[in-house]
Amino acid sequence: MPPIGPTGAVARDEGAQVHGGDAVAEVLAAQGVRQLFTLCGGHISPILVGAKARGIRVVDTRHEATAVFAADAVARLTGYPGVAAVTAGPGLTNTITAVKNAQLAQSPVVLLGGAAPTVLQGRAALQDIDQAALMRPHVKQVRRVRRVRDAGPAVEEAFRTSVDGVPGPVFVELPIDLLYDEPVVRGWYGAARTGRTPQERAVQAYLRLRVAMLFRGARPGPGPAVQPLPPRPPAPRVAEAAGRFAQAQRPVVLVGSQAMVSPGSAQRLVPALERIGAPVFLSGTARGLLGAEHPLQARHKRRDALRAADLVLLAGVPADFRLDYGNHVRRSACLVSANRSRADLRRNRRPDVGILGDAALAVAGIADALTPDAGRWTEWRAQIGGRDAAREIEIVEQAAAPADGVNPVRLCREIAAALPPGAIVVGDGGDIVATASYVLRPDGPLRWLDPGAFGTLGAGAGFALGAAMVHPDAPVWIVFGDGSVGYSLSEFDTFVRHGVPVVAVVGNDASWSQIAREQVEMLHDDVGTVLAPTRYDHVVAGFGALGLHTADADELPAVLAKARDHGAGPALVDVRIGRTDFRKGSISM
């Protein structure tokens, strides 16, 4: 492999051929990309080889969706674009769910897709489909590259677009004949041969011209790395919001994932929320922002708090189904919303004060405009805290209730006790993950990852893989349901091959329980919701991971500790859980 210089440049022998994959890889290196997630394919091989030659870690997965989920996790944890590369046709179609999840979560992801040769597109070439039409509804921008010289600039543009304004995924299509070097491409087309008939000579002349056009022109070098700049909120609207806070008696702040999208958002938000002094609910990636035991954070009875509040600030939170389309906030309350998206700012419920811009900057501006008053809203905070304390007592009691297996609330409490400091927790499931969200307390910002508003299953392995690449020294734990783990089991091979020591815990009740609970009660049939009591610990052992199992709650501390302290690679704990009514009535519309 060529030696890597301090800037990621590759030292080459004089006269060595440079292919389009190198142009793409040079941009990735210049943008500070440290890992490229992929599933290999001939259409993209030069990108992978070029990336490896520049010191970028190529992390290959067992499904293309996992590669995009991993890139999404990198974006959420760093604020910079995560990058995945997939091959043409079915390689790209396999990513659609993960790309849509990133779009709805507003994650800046750059997806590089191979494509059939430019000359053969539309002629039934291998894996040739209209990829642009397929991807356009799910990304901020589609860029189809047609000349080698445009490959690098197109990827640079993708980085800029993905973080600009409302972040999101961008797709760059790179046909195979732009990625290999010119002699190879001429050989593929037979452009160097001389035809025998006038028709053959005409075809050969056309192919020679076509190859010359593909490679014509100097290839520009990569530009500087993109620096995401959060859109500044308008000062008059921030001042108006601060004035409303000054008059409020019972304010509540909701901080969501979008408030965390910029590098440094947590550092802005925490002191600002403390200066404001109102009760705070956290959701999505914002979970853990205030640590595990901050006195301002409220965890339970959010709907009751919103209905009692006379002012509600939505910081990067849309009024979607999770807030009953804005109906959780009473109409007489003042609704303040800060959001990068003009559509989300007004979706379902128009705010009294709408702040179009970065939510973290808006919260900081409100805090700066308020007169400091440590005693402000003391009684209101105590009321919210009392509700939280009462609910915690209920959860402890529910964890002790008998079940026909390990009580899932008890399981989540044992996971919370076993988590090492600084652990990043990934949730991938329905019932068990929603239960865990009531119990687990991330001890710092950006230590909780869940799919978000799309309700996607199958993100767990990819999110964990991305988290482990960003923070290789942090413990990474996944909470799986036995339904969702089926999407990710083959990725334990990925974890083993790449030495990723994740700990996965599967709540196994042989059922799609979140659906079955309501379906059986309402429709009196469990069709489609029954799973086998599969021993998932046996499955991952076949991939070379540590597999553990228990059906005894008293064994949980020792079993979880063994998985936590394993250290030599990935581990999975299969826990036979029972049924409870902890989340009865949980179906969302």
Superfamily name with CATH number, domain 235-384: TPP-binding domain (3.40.50.1220)
Superfamily of domain 400-576: Thiamin diphosphate (ThDP)-binding fold, Pyr/PP domains (3.40.50.970)
311 contacts 334 by C-beta, under 8 angstroms: yes
Hey, what CATH topology would domain 20-215 get? Rossmann fold (3.40.50)
Give pLDDT, residue 220: 78
- Token pair for 98: 């993960």
Domain boundaries, the chain: 20-215, 235-384, 400-576
| pTM metric for this prediction | 0.93
> What six digits make up the tokens of 364?
């900081």
Helices 378-399, 408-418: axis angle to 10 degrees equals 110
Residue 27 pLDDT = 97
SS3 assignment for 383-419: HHHHHHHHHHHHHHHHHCCCCCCECHHHHHHHHHHHC
φ, ψ (nearest 5 deg) of residue 489:
-60, -40
Structure confidence at residue 12 (pLDDT):
45
> Residue 1 has what pLDDT?
27
Instruction: Give me the pLDDT at residue 582, please.
Output: 59
Contact present, 554 and 578 (Cβ < 8 Å): no
What radius of gyration, in Å, describes the C-alpha atoms of the chain?
Answer: 26
Place of tokens 């969501």: 256
Mean pLDDT by 10 residues, the chain (589 residues): 36 55 96 97 94 97 98 97 96 97 97 86 76 96 93 96 96 93 81 69 78 79 89 97 96 96 92 96 94 93 94 96 92 96 94 97 96 89 94 90 90 96 95 90 94 91 98 97 95 97 96 88 93 96 97 96 93 92 58
Q: Is 188 exposed, middle or buried (0-12, 13-18, 19+ CB in 10 A)?
A: middle
**What's the confidence (pLDDT) of residue 213?**
81
The two structure tokens encoding residue 236:
């008059």
Asked if the domains at 235-384 and 400-576 fall in one CATH topology, the answer is yes
